[in-house]
Each structure stands twice: as C-alpha cells, then as structure tokens.
A and B are shown apart, each in its own frame.
Chain A
Amino acid sequence: MRFAALLDGTVATAAVQAQALAGFLGDGLRGDLAGETFVLYCDERDRERLVDLAPTRDVRLVKTAARRPERMFDCLTAAARGGDTALFLAAAGATGTEIVTRLACRAGGGVLTDALTIEARPQRLVCRKNVYSNHLVGRFELRARPWCVTVDACWNDTRRSPSPSHTILSESDESGDAGRPGATTDTRATGATGAAPFADAELLEAPSSGDLAKSRFLVVAGYGAASREGTERIADAARRMGADFGVSRPVAMNAWAPMDRLMGVSGTRAAPALCIVAGASGAPALYWGIEKAGLIVAVNPDERAPIVANSDAALLDDAVAVLEELAEIVAGRRTHE
C-alpha cells in the first residue's frame, strides 16, 4: 500500500508540519506502507528548503501562486483516482483539515482529523484520536478508500529524521492565472460560485503560534493569573526566563493575552522539554496542548486542581508570585554564568 504525505509550504509552519509528519511516519503509523510527499510551494526561493523538509525520499512538487492550498486538488485528486495511493496524510491545522476533507469528499474516501496513531489493515484504517475535548480517546475505523487523515501535531521527538536525500518524481505548476492571490479554485464549483471569491487576501499578523508549537520551554498562564495585569506579569517572567508564553482559553477569551497564544484543543499543541503551568486547573482541553511536555510543573494554590496530579512537580501557591520569584532565580543564574 502507498501513502502520500502533504506538506503545505505556502505557510510559515512548513517546518512544524514536516516534523509532525516525520515523527508520525516513524512512530504513529503501523502497517506496511511506502510513500511519497507532495510539496506545495509558491516561491522558488523556498523550493530547496521545502524539499529538504520532506519526510519521505520521494517528492512531488506542486507550485501555486496562492497562499491557500486548493490549487493542489487537481494533482491530489488525480493521484487519488489513480487508486494507487491508499492513504493521504497532512499535518493537523486549518489547511490540513481542509485538504483532507475536500479530498475525501471528492475521491469518495473517509476522513479523520488529528489522528494520534493509525494502523493500516487490508480493508480498513484503524485510527485513534482525542474526542470529548480530550477527556477521552476514540477509536475509529476508516473503511472507504482513500483514507484521508491529518496527524496530530505533536510528533516532535523525531527518532526518524527526515530522509537525507530526495528524489523528485514530478513537478507541476498550478500557479497560472486562475491562481490569483487568495483565489480558491474549486473543481466542482458551479456557476453560482463566480470567479475568484476570495479577492485580495492579506496576511495581517506576523506568524507566532508556529513558534509556540516548536517551543522547548513554555510557560502557560491560566485563570489563576486573575487579571490582565497578572497575565502580563507571568508573560514578563516567562520572557526573563527565556520561555515562550501560552495561555488557557479563558485567558485568551478575556483578551488578557492575544488569541494566538492559546494552548490546547482550540489552540496550539506543543511538546516542550519543560512546561510550567501557572494558575490553570489543567482541564483536558488545555492539557491537550501540553501533555507531550517532558517535564510539567504546576503552580496552583488548589491542591485538588487536576493539573497537580497531572504534573511532575507542583507548587501550591499563587501563580504570579511564584513565577516572578522563579524568573529572578533563573535570570540571576543566567547572567551569573
């Protein structure tokens, strides 16, 4: 059986995707499968770097002009219709979800997003993914082929490093005039759609959540920060320690911190070596964002908060106070050296 991995090189998260895919192919995927990578790119200057990132030796290049990935569909649908490729894999995320879902719809296959593990059997793909906001893991079977799956973003411990040398199997250029910036070309679009429904797409903010996903040292603030000021003080302590800063959903929803700092089921999932959770109860929806951390330290005055039992070490105290003290110690140590 063959698989095709999809690497969206038109967005800044390509490296994170590549790492997730490589890790997943190494540890998350069981079954006798060989495969290739479709690399989507829009800028010639990125081409080489993206090819290097590909998690398989065999690579197919698709060039588009857009930052949105729909131009890929013709190639993918053709590959799917060829019947040879049983499994399409993309990294979790908005574009990954869109690609696998639309592909499954067009090719008549089954789709599952955010797979933790998959196992290819002759007639079905057995997948596990988090359900009920990460309270449980559900096991699913994909029956109809092609199986279209996004893989959990947290396969960072790349035991199997990306292939050293790559073979380019094919190249296609889809960046023709249909691909105006931001244009979605929908192969099934009816007359009702009209031309170029997404005119003038414009990227407003610098990428940042991508950094969170890659973080090695993360401080996550929760409601225990108690206010915007408390949140800012924890963020500042994180900065002084050289840590990245994330927040729980309520903190982001209260606009105590920007939405792109959000960790968990509706935000980023990371696998840092060290994660300090400051003033969050550690509800499963948040915990999902940090559960792959090497060492989890909880700071929470409430010893019954789930995060305490789900941490390696816990400090039962006020989050802001502890983080500020810790920042002083860590910063002192660093300047000392």
Chain B
Amino acid sequence: MHLSREAIVEGLQRIVGPADVITDRRILVESSVDNFRKLQNIFDVHTMPVPAAIVMARSTEQVAAILRFAGEHTINVIPRTGGTATEGGLESAVPDSIIIDGSAMNRIVDIDAYDMQATCQCGVPLQALEDRVRELGLTTGHSPQSKPVAHMGGLVATRSIGQFSTLYGGIEDMVVGLEAVFPGGIVTRIKNVPRRAAGPDIRHVVIGNEGALCFITEVTVKLFPYFPENNVFLGYTLKDMKTGFEVLRAVMVNGYKPSVARVYDPGDAGLHFSHFAADDDCVLLFMAEGPAGIAKATADGIAAIVAGFAECTRVDSAYIETWFNDLCWGPDKITAEDERIRQTLNVNRTTEISADWSSINDIYQAARARIIAEIPDITMMGGHSSHSYINGTNMYFNYFFNVVGVGPEEETAKYYLPIIGIICEETLKRGGSIVHHHGMGKARAPWVRDEYGSSYYILETLKHAFDPEGIMNKGTIFPL
C-alpha cells in the first residue's frame, strides 16, 4: 500500500532511530536535485518532488532493513554518498522518495600493504583513503577532480575515472571486490581475488549501477607504489585539435603509458593556460610517473613522438607541473563557482563522451559547430580529451552559457538538455558512447536504448531481475 510521508518517516525511525532520519524541509528540498539542476539550489527555486526523508545508514544491516521496508511499500530509494553527482543521479524523479545516505559509513576497514589492497566503507571520502595510503608510500591511483568530496561508494556506483587513468585505469580496473545490498535486503559479497574465470565478472553488475540496482556498502580497491619524486611533465602548444588527437593516438599505439595525456582545445585552454598559450592555441600535456626508469623512459619516448609533429611547440614543464598541483575541486572551489554563477548567470556545464580514434575529431568538430550555431547565449564552447586508450579516447565538452530570458528552473530545458542532445546525436551517429565517466543519471537516460542497441536486452534484464518492484533510483539509467 502507498504510505504517507509520515508513515515512511516512522518506518525509517523504527529501523535507525529518530536521530538518523532527516526531515528538515530545507535539507530535503536541497536534496531533491544534484549538480544537474544546480541552479535550483543556487537560486533556491525548486521544482522537483521533495523526498520524504534522508536516512543516515550506519551499517550494512540497516541498509538491508531499509531496502526491505522500501520494497514492502514500493517506495523509491535514492542511494547517496558524496553527493557530487552531475547527471541527475540523485534527483528525486517521483514524490516521497527515501534518500539512503551512506556518508556516515566512513570507516577505512583495512589497508593491506602486502596484498596491495584497501577495504573501506562506502562513505569514505577518496581523499581520506588516499591520504592514509600515501603515509605508507602508496596510492590508489584514482584521482577524479572531485577527489576531496566524492566518496568510495558513489565513485564505484558511477564508474568514475581519475586524472591518471591512462596508467591506472578507471575505477573498474581498481575494484577487486565489494559488498552490496540488493532490493529485498539481500546482502552480497564479492570476494577479493586477483582474477577469476568462474563465469561472468559479476563485479560489473554493481560497478556503474548508479544506485539503480543495489546499494554498495563496502569496496576493496588496489593499491600501487607512489613515486611522486619521479614525475615528469611535458607540455606543448599547437594549433589544431586533429593533430592533438593524432599525437595522443601515436603515444597510445606505441605502447606508452603516461598517467596523464590530454589535449585542450583553444577555448578550454584559455581557462587554464592563458599565461603561456595564445588564445588560438591548443595545449597538449603529459605526465609520466612510476619507478624512475619507467617514468624517464615514458617521458623520453613521448617527447620523441611529439617531436615528429612539427606543429607542436614545447613549453616549460613547470607550467604543467604548477597547473597539475592545483587541479582538484574541494568544497571551497565549488561554492565559489556557485557564487560566480549566482552573480553572472553564466553557467558552466560539461558532457563527456568517448569514441574510437577514427571518429573522435569528427564528433568534436560537429558537435561544437552545431552547438554554436543552434544554441543561443553560448559564451564558451570547448573541451579536452583526457582519457586515452589503445582504440580511442574521450572528449570532455566544457561549455558556458548565459541564462537569458528564462528563470533558473528552466535552464536545463532551454540550454543544457538541447546541448546534451546535440552531443549525444553526433556521438551516436559515429558509433561512440554518450557517457564516458559521469554516469547516465537521469540526464542522459532518454538515450539509453540508442546507446545500447540490441544489448539493451542484457541491461534491461538486469534491472528486472534485481529490482523487480522498480524501487531503485527511478529514472536513473532507465528512463521513466
């Protein structure tokens, strides 16, 4: 039976106690959106259904009990940890949802420097884990820009990727095992092994599920030795993104594994590099890391490859190193950016896609040209490629527009969604993927069938099998 908001709150209070059920109206309203509709929070104009409650889970058992309760009464639940989602994954699509907040499950369970793996609860901020393992001369190798604010559960749930992915891979290359609770309160643990061939890799049912299949309570990730003293930085300016993609490809197919390999188009480069790059310059940069011999060989090899591209002009590596040291976004930068938006109504959005080497430049050029031509009030339309693979790379579109003539609540409809639409169309047309690392959320869910094609059968079957009542994060990955 459909429960009233009061009854939902009471039910949750019976499970976790009253102190851990948040019903403060203001907090609930702010929690009805994430960064996808961040303007609603910045201007305090809200249009989404207000969740019934936020429940602070403190143990796997509590999560199981909450999921059982939600299942019995078919209440939508939205898993949450760090709250940095950018694609609407945390948005309440239907009234009276429960947000299960795992941020209080923040214990680092074990750091094993011999077996080189660390186990932590879902609410451990990645920065906290990274700081702890650094004391042992180790690193997780994971460094998304949101490292100071995102938590391990959310990072696994969104299939996140960090700035050093070209060497360490995405989160899917790091997770060795985990614990997750499925609807009905079923607790499952995938053991930590180096590899196994005992059937399909079920980790991948959990990694990237965006809270639409299960709640992740604990994860175990790999650890790596950390040699910051060996880091070598390389930077170049060039005029053409096409050349930039060609250089990245040459580096990858020649077998080099820099930790960072990026090319910025002039618009995006202007935001970071105007103190050394001209305003029509692209900027290409690399970081090589690891044991001294490897770092040096990697940097030398890359330098030799780039030297073969006459268009590229080397810049002082100190520019790149200095930029690199100030990359991550803590809460202060996020709040400052919100304030900038509040004053100027100039909004910054990003959309990341991936494609093979043959298509990436075409997608970049076509999407960029169409957005400039079709969308009004654009103030910057650019982007960079920051994660490369042997067969292709990603494109991280970075764009700004002024919100003109509509209220903050209409920003997504007037600007953001049409831009996402263009990027998705141009990407799908050329066989790329519409989501490289932020997750589908609710923003790109409408394209899920086009993204998957005939393999949508597999995805949809997972949803039906694990979440038959459809209580897990309605509207995320699977459109309403």
Contacts and interface: CB of A to CB of B under 8 A. Distances in A.
A–B contact with Cβ pairs below 8 Å: the answer is yes
A223 B335 contact: yes
A297 to B, nearest CB: 21
B339 A229 contact: no
A223 B339 contact: no
Interface string B300-336: 0000000000000000000000000000000110011
B147 to A, nearest CB: 13
Contacts of A250: 332, 335-336, 339
Nearest to A283: B332
Interface string B26-61: 100000000000000000000000000000000000
A167 interface: no
A281 B131 CA distance: 18
B331 A223 contact: yes
A319 to B, nearest CB: 12
B28 to A, nearest CB: 14
Contacts of B331: 223-224, 226
A167 to B, nearest CB: 54
Contacts of A226: 331, 335
Interface string B334-348: 011001000000000
Q: Is the interface of A mostly helix, strand, loop or mixed?
A: helix
Interface string A221-240: 00110100100000000000
Interface string A267-282: 0000000000000010
Contacts of B339: 250, 253-254
A304 B331 CA distance: 14
Given A253-B339, A254-B339, A229 B332 contact: no
Nearest to A280: B332
A254 B336 CA distance: 8
Contacts of B131: 304
Interface in A281-306: 281, 304
Given A253-B339, A254-B339, A223 B332 contact: yes
Interface residues of B, number: 7
Contacts of B335: 223, 226, 250, 254
Interface in B16-30: 26
A37 to B, nearest CB: 43
Interface in B260-309: none
Nearest to B331: A223
Contacts of A281: 332
Contacts of A254: 335, 339
A250 B131 CA distance: 26
A229 B26 contact: yes
A262 to B, nearest CB: 15
A7 to B, nearest CB: 39
Contacts of B336: 250
A266 to B, nearest CB: 15
Interface string A251-268: 001100000000000000
Interface in A139-198: none
B355 to A, nearest CB: 39
B336 to A, nearest CB: 6
Contacts of B332: 223, 250, 281
A250 B340 CA distance: 11
A254 B334 CA distance: 12
A226 B41 CA distance: 13
A150 B131 CA distance: 44
A229 B336 CA distance: 17
B56 to A, nearest CB: 14
Nearest to A303: B131
A224 B148 CA distance: 14
Contacts of A253: 339
A226 B334 CA distance: 11
B132 to A, nearest CB: 12
Nearest to B340: A253
Contacts of A229: 26
A281 B148 CA distance: 14
A226 B83 CA distance: 14
Interface string A194-218: 0000000000000000000000000
B328 to A, nearest CB: 13
Nearest to A228: B44
Contacts of B26: 229
A53 B131 CA distance: 54
Nearest to A223: B332
A120 B336 CA distance: 44
A224 B331 CA distance: 8
Nearest to B343: A253
A250 B339 CA distance: 9
Interface in B332-370: 332, 335-336, 339
Nearest to A251: B335
Most buried by A among B331, B332, B339: B332
B88 to A, nearest CB: 22
Nearest to B30: A227
8 contacts: A224-B331, A226-B331, A229-B26, A250-B336, A254-B335, A254-B339, A281-B332, A304-B131
The 3 A-B pairs with the shortest beta carbon distances in the complex, nearest first, are: A223-B332, A254-B339, A223-B335
Given A250-B335, A281-B332, 13 more contacts: A223-B331, A223-B332, A223-B335, A224-B331, A226-B335, A229-B26, A250-B332, A250-B336, A250-B339, A253-B339, A254-B335, A254-B339, A304-B131
